[in-house]
Amino acid sequence: MADNHCFHLLGNIGVSKPAQFTYPFCYSPHPLAIMAKDEVTVYIETHYPANVSLNEGKMMGVLVAEDSRGNVGFIAAFSGHVQGLHDDAFFVPPIYDLTVPDGEFRRGEAEITELNRKIRKLENDSDLAGLETERKTLMAEQIAEERNMRFKFDHDKEQRRSIRAKGNLTAEQSESLARESQFQKAEMKRMRLRHAHNSAVIENEIARRREEIDRLKTLRRQMSENLQQRIFRLFVVKNAVGESATIEDVFARYHRENGEPASLPPAGTGECAAPRLLQYAFSHSLRPLCMGEFWYGASPENEVRNHGDFYPSCHHKCLPLLSWMMRGLSVEPNPLLAPPESEAEIVWQDKWLAVVNKPSGMASVEGKAHSRSLFSWARESFPDAAGPLITHRLDQATSGLVVIAKDGRTFTLMQQMFERGEVAKTYIALLRGNVAHDSGEVSLPLLPSITDRPRQMVDSHHGKPATTTFRTLMRIEGFSVVEFHPLQGRTHQIRVHAAHHRGLAVPVVGDTLYGGGSVPVSENLAVAMEGEFGFPAPPAGGIWLRAAAVSFIHPVTNEKISLSLLPKK
């Protein structure tokens, strides 16, 4: 079409088109998406080699589609705003342009900016600072004066007690001592009342100024919410069946259908690359084939984002929005909903414990997205067992050894051993790239992402300590086989420590959440993994990460238990 200036032909693609559109929240990029990503990368490096926003790191997106003539090409987008790229016709436009000078957003933003200026002026007011200082000075003076008075009054009280102890006091002398005591008590009360009055004058003035600041902050919050609501009514999105709706309506419908309380969409909803791509495709008669979002530029400190790697769309902003926009498309099924291809197997057991081999694709515990879990398998396999059973968890896509307790007391003892670090765990992983060191230690504190669970973030201030030792066992065909020993059991600990740029910077193969993706593994490498390390290739959607060995002192018998899935040599 004449106005499809953002649609770039891929030419002789040489690969089959996908049968279904990408499920954007857990996927491995299709070869066509990888080809499109490579072309976008070349374009940026050619036209914007010194763009600060891009080089500092930005999420980009590509959508491969067919036009009305059957030509296969791609469209590209970036998330948010990038100075210098906003008017570049290579990229699709935003759903609603927040940067229009006289637009709704800019006007509202200017009003909030002015309000922020007033708040900062009041908060930094020298008079307020002087009042705060005066209040502290008065408090210190009261404490000092009361301490001195109490010291004197206690001394006088002791003197009166000594005089009374000698006896032979006249009535007039006794009355004089009593009056002195009463006077000092009254003097203490008058001093406190005087300080309380002076403090109240200052406190009232501070409170008056603080109330004005709080009033402006409340007004700012209301203005921000109102602006956000107005903006989301201007974001009108389309879906594959030709429907249109505001983002506000899309989220309201999503919450209603899922039995969740209504709430405004998060700030920034609709500005990610994926919804921009779908919006353009539906507006220009393009038939979406596949899609992917990838990171360009430097890695951020907190998140796992490596240059060139694909990542899933976020849940808090994009799950409700993309779920609605993809209505009418034949979308790949969510791999997390697929039943595991095999059942768990008992490796060892006694009266109190069992160690089982959990297959990839089986969740450890029950959840909304899983119909079959290790917990339900354990209930069936050990019908007489009581208690929570699963003493520690493996990610759904991770296979390997899990310790199951058959009664509540043993469960508690095993959990305490895990918490004290008394259970040694060995993992084997295939990493997508060459690990630089033969051995070492990664120590990066982890914190769950509040807005995008189950993703974990590296946070030096609020994260929980997480240390993993590693040993590189083999480097072959551009991959590395690595043995990991996590000293804690944080969620995704090995996966983050492998992928993060301050860790090994080499993600686990098949880890779609942290950038490993499903990449081709040769038959030669697959045979080596199974023969050398007893690690058969995981099923589609699984990752090359296995809990290969576990060792601990039996909490009841004190016997040393050491179990391994590694071949004996």
Task: Please report whether residue 187 resides in a domain.
Answer: yes
- Number of folded domains that form the chain: 3
pLDDT at site 102 = 67
> Do residue 414 and residue 560 come from a single domain?
yes
Domain boundary among 332, 353, 376: 332
- CA angle centred on 208, ends 207 and 209, rounded to 5°: 90
Phi, psi of 71 (to 5 degrees): -75, 140
Domain boundary among 200, 230, 260: 230
SS (HEC) of 263-299: CCCCCCCCCCHHHHHHHHHHHCCCEEEEEEEEEECCC
SS (HEC) of 42-68: HHHHHHCCCCHHHHCCEEEEEEEEECC
> Do residue 395 and residue 475 come from a single domain?
yes
> Do residue 310 and residue 263 come from a single domain?
yes
Task: Please report whether residue 20 resides in a domain.
Answer: yes
Strands 439-443, 345-349: pairing kind = unpaired
Phi, psi of 62 (to 5 degrees): -135, 145
pLDDT band (50, 70, 90) for residue 2:
very low
pLDDT in tens, 444-464: 999 998 878 889 999 999 999
pLDDT in tens, 516-530: 777 888 899 999 999
SS (HEC) of 363-404: ECCCECCECCEHHHHHHHHCCCCCCCCECCCCCCCCEEEEEE
Domain boundary among 201, 230, 259: 230
Q: Is the dihedral of CA 119, 120, 125, 130 positive or negative?
A: positive
- Give Cα separations from 34 to 464, 467, 518, 556 (angstroms): 35, 34, 12, 54
Buried/exposed 497-517: b ≥16 CB within 10 Å, e otherwise:
bbbbbebbbbbbbbbbbbbbb
Active site residues: 395
Structure tokens at 209: 């100024």
pLDDT in tens, 158-167: 988 888 888 8
CA distance 361 to 380: 18
> Do residue 523 and residue 387 come from a single domain?
yes
**Domain range enclosing 247:** 8-96+236-332
> Do residue 319 and residue 391 come from a single domain?
no
> Do residue 375 and residue 413 come from a single domain?
yes
- Say if CB 416 and CB 513 are below 8 A apart: no
Higher pLDDT among residues 117 and 97, named by residue: 117
> Do residue 215 and residue 267 come from a single domain?
no
Length of the chain: 569
> Do residue 269 and residue 196 come from a single domain?
no
Task: Please report whether residue 351 resides in a domain.
Answer: yes
Task: Please report whether residue 288 resides in a domain.
Answer: yes
> Do residue 152 and residue 41 come from a single domain?
no
Strands 58-66, 345-349: pairing kind = unpaired
Structure tokens at 4: 């499809």
Task: Please report whether residue 103 resides in a domain.
Answer: no
pLDDT in tens, 231-240: 888 889 999 9
> Do residue 161 and residue 54 come from a single domain?
no
pLDDT band (50, 70, 90) for residue 1:
very low
CATH of the domain at 374: 3.30.2350.10
Q: Which of 500, 499, 501, 524 is nearest to 510 (CA)?
A: 499
pLDDT in tens, 254-275: 999 888 888 888 888 999 999 9
Task: Please report whether residue 379 resides in a domain.
Answer: yes
